[in-house]
């Protein structure tokens, strides 16, 4: 079976408090980017290896056993010993470490695909619990629709948010922003207005209200990322922001806007109608 794990962006991202377990409580709106996708195929294995894992496309750093797809299989195998050996092929298109949730999507979609293919009978809530064990962004990709998220990101409230009348541009300059460093730069605070309330308004009102807390430290340390946000506004974006801890910056443009993009060749650029 084949599935297509998609990217996401954060519409606002506030870090509210540090928890006793070392994680942080956040507030954000997750929005799926269905046009930007990896490809994931799982078939029954033909060897004694539990997971015969192959990756093509973008280079993925790290040991195979640390990949979230393999971790997802291992997690389910603990509770479902009859889960057969598999062959898994992942084709990477979504940039890694970019704030787009590509790795998290791959892990969550592995859970979904294994559940479907081998009829494990797991509910959405159960899949969400497994996904949270993989990472804080993973539960979103079980729901995979616009939602207001709190807690570590696993407490999700679906939203009727639709950007069909807008174009979306994502730009990644290939800069690595260490996640631990980024969180260490923040002093958690409770926002006066929630992201949920702000995104219920027209996107043209978001600029001074919808805040990603990581922008100030990240753009201070990496001026090229700040320049990207400024450029997207120059190109006519009604709203532009960092997603996650970066380094991808996105711009939301009215559908009728003619966008003439010009970025260095090594930048990753995605442009499509928002969906």
C-beta separation of 177 from 40 below 8 A: no
| Ranges of the chain with pLDDT below 50 | 275
CA angle 132, 158, 9 (to 5 degrees): 65
**Residues 186-207: pLDDT tens digits?**
999 999 999 999 999 999 999 9
Q: What is the pLDDT of residue 273?
A: 60
Domain at 2-158, CATH class: alpha beta
% of the chain with per-residue pLDDT over 70: 99
pLDDT of residue 61: 84
Of the candidate CATH numbers 3.40.50.880, 3.40.50.300, 3.40.50.2300, 3.30.70.890, the domain formed by 166-273 belongs to 3.30.70.890
| Cβ-contact 137, 219 below 8 angstroms | no
In this prediction, residue 274 carries a pLDDT of 53
User: 71: Cβ–Cβ under 8 A, 6 or more apart, which residues?
Assistant: 65, 107, 134
Cβ 130 vs Cβ 136: under 8 Å: no
Q: Is 193 left (phi over 0), alpha (psi -120 to 50) or beta?
A: beta
Domain ranges in the chain? 2-158, 166-273
Give per-residue pLDDT as tens, 210-251.
999 999 999 999 999 999 999 999 999 999 999 999 999 999
Residues classed as catalytic:
8, 137
């Amino acid at each position: 079976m084949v599935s297509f794990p998609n990217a996401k962006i954060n519409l606002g991202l506030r870090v509210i408090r540090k928890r006793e377990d070392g994680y942080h409580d956040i507030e954000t709106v997750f929005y799926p980017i269905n046009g930007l996708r990896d490809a994931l195929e799982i078939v029954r294995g033909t060897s004694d290896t539990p997971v015969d894992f192959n990756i093509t496309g973008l280079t993925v750093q790290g040991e195979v056993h640390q990949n979230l797809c393999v971790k997802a299989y291992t997690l389910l195998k603990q509770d479902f010993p009859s889960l057969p050996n598999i062959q898994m092929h992942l084709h990477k298109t979504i940039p890694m470490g970019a704030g787009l949730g590509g790795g998290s999507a791959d892990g969550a979609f592995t859970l979904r695909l294994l559940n479907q293919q081998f009829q494990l009978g797991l509910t959405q809530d159960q899949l969400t619990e497994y996904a949270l064990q993989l990472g804080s962004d993973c539960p979103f990709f079980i729901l995979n629709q616009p939602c207001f998220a709190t807690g570590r990101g696993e407490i999700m409230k679906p939203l009727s948010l639709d950007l069909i009348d807008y174009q979306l541009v994502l730009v990644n300059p290939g800069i690595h922003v260490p996640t631990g460093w980024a969180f260490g730069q923040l002093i958690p605070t409770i926002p006066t207005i929630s992201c949920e309330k702000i995104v219920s308004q027209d996107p043209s009102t978001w600029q001074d209200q919808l805040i990603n807390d990581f922008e100030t430290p990240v753009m201070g340390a990496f001026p090229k990322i700040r320049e990207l946000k400024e450029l997207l506004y120059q190109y006519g974006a009604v709203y532009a922001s960092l997603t996650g801890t970066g380094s991808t910056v996105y711009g939301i443009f009215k559908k009728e806007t003619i966008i003439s993009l010009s970025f260095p060749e090594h930048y990753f650029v995605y442009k499509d109608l928002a969906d």
